[in-house]
Amino acid sequence: MPYRRLPNTDAARIRAMEQALKIGKEIPPFKLAYSSELFVKLQAFLTTFTNTYQLQRQSYNKQVESNKGYQEDLKRAKTYITHFLRVMNMAVQRNDLRSDTPQFFGFNNGHSSLPALHSEKDVIYWGKKIMEGENARMRAGRTPITNPTMAVVKVHFENFMDAFHFQKTMHKKTSEYSEEIAELRKEADKLIVKIWNEVEDTFSGMPEEEKRKKSEKYGLVYVFRKNELQKVNDN
């Protein structure tokens, strides 16, 4: 005998509930194969589940779509921070800038090695650090570093920060919707099982094939095992 297979994705859960609800709207309550109590509950729950599922998918897709631009902003911010510090180092080596210049950016002992910008945290730390350092140099009456200037570095750093905060916000929203849909998923599974059980009980006195066909109209899914499928094909 084929076995009943419950939906294992949210899209499949929605299809199962939509089919059960569709039949419930087409058939008079006294002819419906599951209780009117479940029908009322299904109407309210399906709307909530579908809306939350769509919000979760939209939030996730938006996060994925914006990630490409975010990665470009991150890469550009890394490049300009690195270039700014490299230019500063070379200017100090040429004596174009005073030997104490690296100290404004948190380096001691003159020449500074370029920091490794492995993570967003590193980029944020050094972006703020060099902006503060250059501002301190300007207040001390020093010559501004150019090619790139701090104004240019700041533009790319702030673009990155805007993208960073947007990604954080989208990630938080997606996580919240994912947690919400995970809870609703449990309720959906219980509701579907109850409806399917009542439908099968209603048609339990019928021959197996007729019972299965009538149940499938309510959204139930049956799967034939390999040997059963072979017999059906042979017949």
Least confident window among 5-19, 34-48, 87-101, 218-232:
218-232
Over 70: is that where the pLDDT of 232 sits? no
Model confidence pLDDT, tens digit, residues 32-60: 999 999 999 999 999 999 999 999 999 99
Number of domains in the chain: 1
Average pLDDT across the chain, whole number: 93
Over 80: is that where the pLDDT of 201 sits? yes
Cα dihedral: 59, 65, 70, 76 (round 10)? -170
Average pLDDT on 125-131 reads 96
Strands annotated E in the chain = 3-4, 222-223
Phi and psi torsions of 82, nearest 5° = -65, -45
The region that residue 34 occupies, defined by phi over 0 for left and psi between -120 and 50 for alpha, beta otherwise, is beta
At 29 the pLDDT is 87
At 205 the pLDDT is 93
Nearest-5° Cα angle at 26, 6 to 43: 55
At 195 the pLDDT is 97
Average pLDDT on 95-99 reads 92
Over 90: is that where the pLDDT of 126 sits? yes
At 106 the pLDDT is 86
Average pLDDT on 164-176 reads 96
- Expressed as residue numbers, the domain containing 160 is 3-234
Residue type, 79: T
Model confidence pLDDT, tens digit, residues 134-168: 999 999 999 999 999 999 999 999 999 999 999 99
Q: What is the pTM of this model?
A: 0.79
